A and B are shown apart, each in its own frame.
Chain A
């Protein structure tokens, strides 16, 4: 808890050090100080009538000149700060309160009444703010009270609308449902769960709203329906100064500048607050990363048929505290027509490895490798333009979420055809025919009709098929599939894996299948790479899985996998502990803390991936020897540590 508060505090401090934060603090302090002090110090001088100096220009005694009664304009502008700012803040507070109540009501009221409130707000939003203010000024009468209420009520609808939208997004979340199930009442639901979770954007908007209110107030006073004499605010001073603008421009400019500065103060504060509480990512400015000479694996012999060669691949991201390296020196080879699986838990770096190979890691991520070659072309040094053709036709990517892989506004067939138009220069018609042919080859029923449909008309499994079909528009030599079946049901998953396997044999296409499910990988691939904390810890043939993996992590993963024949009488095997965070990887073997076979050496020295046999590599100081892995069960009671 204390660390949470501390982190929070340091975040504010960091924001205050940015140019924007510093500016906003200085301006706001100035405005507040003037609002408090000016009337105390200079009240008399602002009201002192000097009949000898009426309507004068700037001079030594009156820096900005005098008004029609000979009062000093500079002091009047300074003294007016309090009234101008107070009224603006007051209007904002009323407006925000009314807006918040209107915005929150629909989530408390019964459905029908809630809808009514929403409709009323929707209509009110459509009215221009100034018109609404004028209208209220007529109702409430000309004067300060009327103006405050007018601006407040003009502000309320848009604020209500914002609160409604934000509240609606929170109400849909599971924790609100959970509270409902627990029997929490509506009011408490609103106060404890909804409002705190929408507070931040509302605060930011309220601050910016205060700036707008200030401006609106100045406008009303300028028009003569705001503050009335003998009181004065900036708007009124502006109005008075305008009469003599050709004689003494300063009289009109000074209150104008004051309005601008105060408005700027509010808006900048809003922006700065948004920067801290919002989700905006600030780019961390840290030095260039020096690639650590990671314990390179013994260089593998790459045959002539090596399609993808990866040596000492690293992916790093800048964090405020320094570089974090989620992929730390991965080396492997994929031969033509081979199916290789990458297995690991979330955070093991398996997806990033796939993205790095297809050059999809976005800045500020940095990809380095001793060697990264696809079909003989180095991927890191070849210019992007030359690569595009190669990757576009020879490399296909299938992602986890079939919902977001396609452009929802275009027909499936056209999206597929585009690939051929771009990379193979096929005419439109030919390309579309090819698209239909590819859809048919990935076994989409009624491909001709389906090609003319939009992505939302496809089921999840069909969309993933179409995605593979899209990859087949070129002549792919490698398909990288990143958790392609995780969002799908078992029956659909099996169909899709079969399709991948068939595609592989028909076109001699290599497959890199990334999955958290060791069973899925062992069914589909010849070979699997087991990843842990950004490293490949074992590289073995899936056929050898039954005979016994060597790395304790692979064994633990296999033992923890539930099967249809798992003994129901026994508690399930668990792996104690949890993987290290990518920015806090220990010095020795990353798995040592959870490993039953770990010794002192494991805590100090990081093991390197070394060949056990021709087709089996393992990174472990104490590779397990016994042939059949006994399903050794931890003495676990109810759950085990985590």
Chain B
């Protein structure tokens, strides 16, 4: 298991997931910086992602689509807000063709990825998702869930303990 912790903050509308790998920060950065590597993990096996534009620079745009088992296509994009290779990437992540269509009532979230050295030479990758509003949060969750994921009922205790 790669993930070492998950923290949900219902008040701040954020979720922070932390994972650790036995590779260098530079190597782990390639998972984001190389679109061919991104494609190997962004989408689930049943909804593989294909990245088209991939501009990891301030104001850069990344576009991708995910193809479902019936050939259906879901498009998504990132707008790059901050990038400091190989340690920090902040993007706006949304659904649709491109960022300019974001105003059309389509929700988006802010994703902040940070990579830090672990004492023994591995890497700690932290991903924080910030939802702009409760409404957008629900919309994003529901739209994301349509992309090849089924709703699994979990344990009530977990949210109550949050």
Indicate, yes or no, whether A interacts with B. Answer: no
A interface with B by C-beta (< 8 Å): none
B interface with A by C-beta (< 8 Å): none
